[in-house]
Amino acid sequence: MYKLGVDTGGTFTDIGLIDERTGQIAVTKVSSTPDNPALAVLEGIKKLLNLK
């Protein structure tokens, strides 16, 4: 099971992902998108998963 944490801020959006089975943690930071914060969240998730 994975857990995802998100902190949307005015300048940056921070995203953390933890694999509860292995304890592996991945974090990233992307520019925030104030008009639609979901866009930054999706961008960060793609970045964590190495998707283009």
Q: Would you kindly state where each structural domain of the chain is located, as residue ranges?
A: 2-48
Can you give the pLDDT at residue 52? 57
Query: What is the pLDDT averaged over residues 25-48?
Result: 96
Closest CA to 31 of 9, 12, 10: 12
Going by C-alpha positions, the residue among 43, 42, 15, 45 that lies closest to residue 27 is: 15
Average the pLDDT over 29-38 and give the result: 97
Kindly tell me the sign of the dihedral angle through the C-alpha atoms of 25, 37, 12, 50: positive
Q: What is the pTM of this model?
A: 0.86
Beta bridge mates, 13: 8, 30
pLDDT at residue 16 greater than cutoff 70:
yes
